[in-house]
A and B are shown apart, each in its own frame.
Chain A
Amino acid sequence: MKRREFLAAVGWNVGAATGLISLPVGPSPRRNHVTPLPPASVPSGPSLLVPMDDSQSDHLKAYGVTYRALQRGSRAEWLLNYRGGSFLLPLDSALERDAALAGVRAEAVGDADVVSIRGTIAANNMDAVPLEKAPDVAVYVPPNAPPWDDAVTMALQYAGVEYDKIWDAEVIGGALRRYDWLHLHHEDFTGQYSKFFVTYRGSSWLGEMVRRNTEMARSLGFSDVPDLKKGVARTIRDYVERGGFLFAMCAATETIDLALAAETVDIAAPYADGTPMDPAASEKMRWQRALAFQGARIEESYSIASFSDIDGHQVNNPGRRQQLGAFKLFDFAAKIDPVPTMLVQSHRDVVPDFYGLTTSFRRDRLKPGVTVLADEAGTPWVKYIHGEAGQGTFTFFGGHDPEDPQHQIGDPPTDLSLHTNSPGYRLLLNNVLFPAAKKRELKT
């Protein structure tokens, strides 16, 4: 389904879901023509409102409660911009129990309350998006990685959203077709082990990483690890083009595009593939194959843990490292742009920034057509972007862990029960529920 088709579908549903035709709340001129949805799709009877403003005791688990309700076959509505992007769910005992156990604040609302909510939504920059199906979620992650090594797996684990772990063998073997949503662990798709090879040589974890990747490349018939990762990157791009939802953070954002654009160019350091990097690599990159970026220059020094000049912050590049600031989420028109609106639902507009191997994206390296969801005012970089490729979409979020801004190797894992209202982590979870908003099959 193309973006415009999706918008049309969502608009059709929304008009009905907001009850503008059947309920006496003062019709919006823009919506008067909307055909009512069949009654079965409209939540009726007592409902549970899960507010997502400052009254919410655990924003992160609220996503899990909604996800599990969808898993049980319930319908839900995402009330965009209404009380921080609340959820409206049909009241049942399983839902009540789940919310109570999770410590999620939920308010029982009657028909009159729902009418009032819909009136508010109709009159403001808000919208109600039906959520239909709990998406099937996969996380691309090495088999031995603990869940505490990656912000998304931490968030999924904490919220109680089920996911499968897949890695190179599954991706190359075609397993992606089973999933609606794929998250990329902070992988280095250039195959250079996050360029930690020089700094951390001798560390047991790095040795294990090299061994595991080398064995995998050999077993799948690739000449070396950079070659394997390029193959994985291509398969992931195909998945997106066939309608998949891709979400990536940290180094995975930048390196998947570098791997795609460098399909015929050697951009890997000698320690990774045994040959020196092509000295004219930057000039030979074919950016039309990449998802989000273009025109970047490759970092030539293999001792600097930076991949290119896509990242604005260059945390491991001493001469270019930039200070952390705060990024601001854009305010989209909910009724016109429901997709970016979903992705930026938060109870905070401004969120403290956090480092990652890739922290941000230089604005002048973005392809035309990429939607910026958040940026830092007055700087040449953006933080959070979204775009389409073929039938699917990709969303890239810079940084490693929203609640550990300086994250270093060996730091203790983040305990999300101490950050239950984290606006940064909310942004990750928006992405998990976003595919639930439209019901369609992946073309395989």
Chain B
Amino acid sequence: MSGTAAVIGAVTSRRRTVVAVWVIVALLGTAAPAVAQARPAEVQRAIEAERAGRYQEAADRFERILKAEPASFPALLGFERALQRLGRLDRILVYIDAAIPLAADQQPVRSLQLRVLAQLGRTDALNAAAEAWIATVPKAEDPYREWAFALAQRGDIEGARQVLLRGGRVLGAGALLQELAQVAVASGDWPGAARHWVEAARAKRPAIPAAGLSLSHVPPAMRAGVLDVLLRELGDSVAQMIAADALVSWDRAGEAWALLDRVLPADPRSAVAALRRFADRTRHTTSAEAARMRGYALERLATLVQGPEAQQARIDAARGFADAGDRRAAERMLHEIAGDSAVAPAAASGAMATLIAVTADAGRAAAAERRLREWRDRLRAEDVALLETSIARAWVRAGELARANSILGDDSSVGAAAVRGWVALYRGDLRGASRWFREAGPYAGTRARITRRTSMLALIQRIGPDSVPELGRALLMLERGDTSRAVDQLVDVARTLPHTAGRGDVLGLAGRLALAHRDRRAEPLLLEALAVDATGPVAPAAMLALARIAAKAGPTALAIERLESLILLYPESAVVPEARRLLNQVRGAIPRS
């Protein structure tokens, strides 16, 4: 590469004037190439000095570069940083003045000038510099924007607002509206910000996401006022779309969807963009409502797009519905995909696997088993095993214990062991249930399932006899949702058990179940459990439940007495932290959550 070319390549288009100088020097055959190659190295050395905290050296180096190359913007920025550290920022002003007439693109240098003057507190000079800039580019937004920013930086929010309003008047409707909104946000004027954002979005639709994002930060106490502005005071479709965006981020997805559904743009492209944004934003919250609304939005999206995009939207919608616990809607979506011959095989089998799992979780074991039979060959082997376990669980819940065992076949996974444990338990085979639960260990299923299994294992290990079919029937009744009759049965079973071999534990379980269902039998059952076994693990759990009853009923002193007794009598019990927390709440030491 010739020296001339190297020089030209080394400079940016922003510095055309300087380039011209270098080119002339090079053509004259001077030492220009060597000088030009030294520039980046010199800048690098200055930056290294700055990084190492040698600010004086860095400032000196940047200054030397600027003397040789007055319009070097990287050097100006570096000089600004170093001087700031040294507390001598005013020294840069003369170099900025020198750079302005030389810079091809004046915007960054003029912005720097305003920023520096603002930092130095030279308001008059700042205003004069801004006016001078406006005079050179009277139709540009930049001078007003940067001027306002510099004033806001000084804390002069009102001044910033006035500059932007003036810019708006000069430049015409639609100018600087987003900046006005941001200034309102900076001053904490959220209703004002909402008004400006709507104006900005009316002028430029792409501002809607920025508006929603900005208003997502509205403090809870101000949200009603902001909604009032958006929905009552302004109320057009743009304001409603912005309100929908903000509501999603405030975890009010239901209201958000109701709004968006009403004002979805007729233009398909805009509608697709709005639906996608809505679906994305609901992913940031974990509530069931947000998941369901995501499902609705994606279901609508699937009708506006074609091919694989539509399939993916349906699958995602089904996931949304399933996450929300709306299995029927999830099934409906998945059924559409699985039944669509145009869908790619992999997508169809994935959708069917999800559909079978959703069907099984909904308790429709026979339908799930039938679908699995039909699709078995098209599903992945690991999916089949997982689905069989899900279906077996569904059969257990239906009370069809033999069918549950049958579908598991010779599956030796921990998931299958857990299901077999429940089958054994509901048959009254406590020893067998214990064995299977231990084999399943702490790995099979979700955390909730593991906790439930472990609690049951702790209970049945306290019971003396190896086989108690009545207990199995009572627990199956509980599994199937008939809590009231299950409590009756558990009480009957408990009274047949020896005092020291599970009577108190089963009574305690019956009492806690009754409490969870606001059954008046709870208190007498828990007291009976305590009377039967005051030393076993049932005692602290029963006392905690009794304290909850007392706390709910109102006599705080009784709740406190029960909780204090629990903590002092059973200091090693696993329920003590829970008891301390309740004690704190009852005493008003912490807020009730």
Q: Which residues of A contact B (CB under 8 A)?
A: 97, 100-103, 147-148, 157-158, 160, 198-200, 202-203, 205, 299, 301, 303-306, 314, 316-320, 408-413, 415-417
Contact = CB atoms under 8 A, between A and B. Distances in A.
B154 A319 contact: yes
Leading 10 A-B pairs by shortest Cβ distance: A410-B220, A410-B221, A199-B188, A318-B186, A319-B153, A319-B155, A413-B591, A408-B219, A317-B155, A409-B221
B589 A160 contact: yes
B187 A304 contact: yes
Contacts of A303: 157-158, 187, 189
Contact of A305 (B188, B190, B567, B568): B188
Contacts of B152: 318-319
A312 to B, nearest CB: 14
Contacts, number: 96
Interface residues of B, number: 36
Contacts of B568: 97, 100-101
Contacts of B220: 408-411
A287 to B, nearest CB: 22
Contacts of B154: 319-320
B580 A103 contact: yes
B346 to A, nearest CB: 45
Contacts of A413: 591
A415 B189 contact: no
A410 B217 CA distance: 12
Given A101-B567, A417-B580, A147 B588 contact: yes
A279 to B, nearest CB: 16
Interface string B219-250: 11110010000000000000000000000000
B156 interface: yes
Interface string B145-163: 0000001111111100000
Contact of A320 (B155, B221, B222, B567): B155
Contact of A158 (B191, B219, B584): B584
10 contacts: A101-B567, A102-B580, A158-B584, A303-B158, A305-B188, A317-B155, A319-B156, A410-B219, A415-B590, A415-B593
Contacts of A412: 591
B567 A157 contact: no
Contacts of A316: 188
B498 interface: no
Contact of A304 (B151, B155, B221): B155
Contacts of A158: 584, 589-590
Most interface-central of A103, A305, A416 (chain B CB within 10 A): A103
A100 B189 contact: no
A165 to B, nearest CB: 14
Contacts of A102: 580
B524 interface: no
A203 B222 contact: yes
Contacts of A317: 155
Nearest to B153: A319
A432 to B, nearest CB: 15
Given A101-B568, A318-B152, A411-B220, 14 more contacts: A101-B580, A147-B588, A157-B588, A160-B589, A200-B221, A202-B191, A203-B225, A304-B157, A317-B155, A318-B157, A409-B220, A410-B221, A413-B591, A416-B589
A305 B157 CA distance: 12
B230 to A, nearest CB: 15
B361 interface: no
B364 to A, nearest CB: 40
A416 B581 CA distance: 10
B583 interface: yes
B567 to A, nearest CB: 5
B571 interface: yes
A157 B568 CA distance: 22
